[in-house]
Amino acid sequence: RKTLGAVCFFIAKEFIKLINPKLSEQQINQIVQWNLLFAQEYNCDINLALAIQATETHFDWQGKSKKGAISIWQIMPINLKKICKLQGWNYSLINFSSFDSLQKQIEAGYFWLNMLNKQHKNNKEVILCEWHSGTKYLHHSKINKYTIHFDTKNFINKVMENYKSLS
């Protein structure tokens, strides 16, 4: 079991270095350690989680999207507020753009990913569609290659490319 963890740690570390060579060794180690911890705690696929983080922010926890999504996962503040409420965290006390909050950022993403996994029975395409476009989009369209918005298709394809490179 320790060998598996070491292999996973090494693969994740090399993947993050490849995606964002500007990160320090300490930052990469923290990102990997928290991903390993929360992937296990929330029973999520660490490769999918790392692929989402790589696609969304290249592991930059300070990023903010044009639409206002924040954190290493690019989660919308409304969803982060829901996560904080469900987790018993005080949203107003957490700066989701600082390295000091990176542990909470990563845990929040795994919490959300776990909820989506359960809701969509681990269907990666549907999970990624909701991750990128939100629940409103899912309720108004079928999930197939003809109805997913172009940007969302690109997002899903990029995540899956990153996912395959980790598998």
Q: What is the 3-state secondary structure (H, E, C) of 96-140?
A: CCCHHHHHHHHHHHHHHHHHHHHHCCCCHHHHHHHHHHCHHHHHH
Confidence of residue 164 (pLDDT cuts 50, 70, 90): very high
For the segment 134-151, the average pLDDT, to the nearest whole number, is 58
**Model pTM?**
0.90
The answer on pLDDT for 139 being more than 70 is no
Closest CA to 78 of 89, 63, 68, 64: 68
Q: Give the range among 51-60, 94-103, 114-123 with minimum mean pLDDT.
A: 94-103
Alpha carbons 35 and 7: distance in angstroms, whole number: 14
Torsion of CA 51, 40, 118, 109, to 10 degrees: -50
For the segment 70-95, the average pLDDT, to the nearest whole number, is 92
Amino acid identity of 60? D
Q: Give the range among 52-61, 87-96, 131-140, 149-158 with minimum mean pLDDT.
A: 131-140
Closest CA to 53 of 93, 112, 139, 7: 112
For the segment 114-143, the average pLDDT, to the nearest whole number, is 79
For the segment 123-134, the average pLDDT, to the nearest whole number, is 89
Q: Decide: helix, strand or coil at residue 76.
A: coil
The answer on pLDDT for 1 being more than 60 is no
Residue-wise pLDDT for 2-43, tens only, equals 445 678 999 999 999 999 999 999 999 999 999 999 999 999
Confidence of residue 158 (pLDDT cuts 50, 70, 90): very high
Alpha carbons 140 and 128: distance in angstroms, whole number: 16
**Per-residue burial over 76-87, b = 16 or more CB atoms within 10 Å of its CB, e = otherwise:** eeebbebbbeee
Alpha carbons 32 and 109: distance in angstroms, whole number: 14
